Amino acid sequence: MLPILSLIVLIPLVFAALTLLTKTKEQARLMALVATVSVLILTLYMYLNFDSTTAAHQFEELYQWVPSLGITYHVGVDGIAMPLILLNAIVLPFLVLFTWNDERKSPNKFYALILGTEAAVIGVFTALDFFLFYVFWELTLIPLFFMVSIWGGPNKHHASIKFFIYTHVASLVMLLGIFGLYFAAWDMTGTPTLDIPTLLAQFQLIESALLKDMIFLALLFGFIVKIPSFPFHSWQPDAYTEAPTAGSVLFVMLKIGGYGLFKIMLPMLPFTGSPNMMITIMAVLGSVSIIYGAFLALSQKDLKRMVAYSSVSHMGYVLLGAAGLVSLSVSGAMFQQFSHGLIMSVMFMSCGIINNKTGTRIMNDLGGLAQKMPKLAVIMVLTFMASLGLPGLSGFIAEVSVLAGSFGNLPAYVIIALVAIVITGAYHLWALQRTMFGVFDKKLGTITDINRYQTLSMGVIAILILYFGLNPSAVLDMMLTNSEQIASMMAVMGV
C-alpha cells in the first residue's frame, strides 16, 4: 500500500526545499500550489477511504529507528487527527491562491515557509511516536517564527521573539512530561518505548499518583500554551496581529495544542491521581478564556487584534468541551477546532485585504467598505456570522454541542460561557458595522474589490463553512467514534 501519511509530510517538505531554489515569484507560487494540491488530493483519497466506525489508527506505518532508546517511525491517523489533516490540506492550496498576486520580498522563502509549516503541522497530527511528535512539534516553530520576523508588521521582532520564547519554553516543559512518562514506563516494563499508544496504555500502571499528576500537568502546560488559553495567551494576539495574512492563517491552522488535548490528555485523565482537579483546571481555564477573550475582543480598536482575541475566546470552547467529558461535548470541541480553522482563515484574509486596500485596520477610521467591496462584504458577513454562532453555519454546531454536552457535568462553567455569547454577538456585529457599513470615508481613497484569486479562495472556504454547518456529519462522525471511546473510558473509571 502507498505510504500515504509519509507522503503528505514528505511532499511539502521536499517542495519547500525546491521552492527555496526558485528565482522568481511565478516559479515559487507554482511549486507551492503543486505541493499543496498534491497533499489535498492524497488527503481526500485518505478521507474517502477512512473508516469512521472504528476508533483505531488507520493508514499506519511502523519502522524501527533507534531501537536502543525505543524510538520508532510510527505514523497513523484516527478520528481526532483526520479532520485536522483535512483542514490543513483544504486551506493551504487556497492560501497559496490567496497570495497569488501579492508583491513581497523573497517569495521563494515565503512559499517555502508555508510548505514547511504544512509539513510540520501534518507531521504532528500523524506522529504516533513521542520522539517524532516532539520533532514535528518543534519544527512548527521555526517557519512561523521566520514568517513573522521577515514579513510581519511594525512590531514583528517583539512579536516573533515573544512567540518563540513563550512556546519554546512550553514545549520544553512538555518534553519534561514526555521524559517522565517514558522513564516511569521504562522502569516498570524494562523496555524503553516512545510509542504514544503504548505509553498511554502504560500510564495507568504508574504507581505514584504524584508522578502521574506531574506528568499530566507538564504535558497539559505544553498544550494549553499552544491552544492558547488564559492565562498563557498573551503571545497569541501579538503574533497573530503582527504576522502577515498568510502567517496568521498558518497560525490558525496550528491546531496542535487542542489535538494534544484530545489525543494525549483525555486518555490519561481518568488515571491521574486527582482527575477532578484536572477537570476543574481545564474547565476554569476554558470558561475564563471564553469570557475574557470576548471582553478583550470587544475593547479592541484594531480589527485584526479583535479577531485574534476572538480566537482566544473560541479556543476556550475547546478546553471547556474537553473538560465536559461526554461524547457530545468532546466531539463538539473537536468540531470547534475544525470549524474555527475554516472561519478564522477567512477572517484573517479579510483583515489582510482591508489593511492592504485602505492602509489601516483601525475600525473607527473605516466604514462603508461594503459599497466599494461588495464581494468581500458578502464573504466577510457570512464568516462573521459563522464566528458568532449563527445556526446553519459550522460555528453553531460546535458551540451548541460543547455547551449542551458540558452542561450535565459542569453547569456553572457553562452558564459563565453563556454570558459570553451575548458579548460575542456584540463585538462581531459592532465590528461589521464599523468597517463594512455606515458612511464611506472619502479619505480612504479609491478602493477596488478583491481580485479573482482572493474571491475564489475566500469564497470556497466560506462555502465549506456553510457546507459543514449543514452537513456536520461529514467530519463529526469520525470525531464521535473517538469521543465515545474516550467518554466510555471515563464512565468505566467513574470520573
Partner 1 sequence: MAENLMLFAPELTLVLTGLFVLMVGLFLPTGAKKVLGYLASIGILVALSLTVSSLGTEGMAFNDTLSVDALSQFFKIVFLVVALIVSIASIKYTEGNSHTEEFYALSIFATIGMMFVASANDIMVLFVAFELASLATYALAGFEKKNQKSLEAALKYFIIGSLSAAMLLFGISFIYGLTGTTSIPGIAANITALSTSPMGIVAVVLMLAGFGFKIALVPFHMWAPDTYQGAPSVVSALLAAGSKKMGIVAAFKIFIVALIALQAEWQIAFAILAVVTMTYGNVVALKQTSVKRMLAYSSLAQAGYISMAFVVLTPLALGGGILYALSHGFMKAGAFIVTAAVAYMVLSDNKDSEDTDHIDNFKGLGVRMPITALSMTIFVFALAGIPLTAGYMSKFVLFSSTIQSGFAWLAVIAILNSAISLYYYAKIVKYMYFLPTDLEKVSEPLPYVAALLIAVAGVFAIGFWPEPFIHWAMEAAMVLIPGGM
Binding site for partner 1 (CB under 8 A): 65-69, 134-135, 138-139, 142, 149-150, 164-165, 168-169, 172, 175-176, 179-180, 182-183, 186-187
Q: For the CB of residue 135, give the shortest distance to partner 1 in the complex, in Å.
A: 4
Distance CA 320, CA 410 (A): 9
Q: How many CB atoms lie within 10 A of CB 50?
A: 20
Decide whether 105 or 443 has the Cβ nearer to partner 1.
Answer: 105
Decide whether 186 or 453 has the Cβ nearer to partner 1.
Answer: 186
Decide whether 132 or 325 has the Cβ nearer to partner 1.
Answer: 132
Q: For the CB of residue 105, give the shortest distance to partner 1 in the complex, in Å.
A: 11
Distance CA 389, CA 44 (A): 27
Q: For the CB of residue 75, give the shortest distance to partner 1 in the complex, in Å.
A: 16
Decide whether 214 or 354 has the Cβ nearer to partner 1.
Answer: 214
Q: For the CB of residue 132, give the shortest distance to partner 1 in the complex, in Å.
A: 9
Distance CA 487, CA 7 (A): 33
Q: For the CB of residue 387, give the shortest distance to partner 1 in the complex, in Å.
A: 35
Q: For the CB of residue 158, give the shortest distance to partner 1 in the complex, in Å.
A: 13
Decide whether 44 or 172 has the Cβ nearer to partner 1.
Answer: 172
Q: For the CB of residue 138, give the shortest distance to partner 1 in the complex, in Å.
A: 5
Decide whether 166 or 335 has the Cβ nearer to partner 1.
Answer: 166
Decide whether 183 or 295 has the Cβ nearer to partner 1.
Answer: 183
Task: Give residue for cell 470525531.
Answer: 479
Q: For the CB of residue 68, give the shortest distance to partner 1 in the complex, in Å.
A: 5
Distance CA 291, CA 166 (A): 23
Decide whether 182 or 427 has the Cβ nearer to partner 1.
Answer: 182
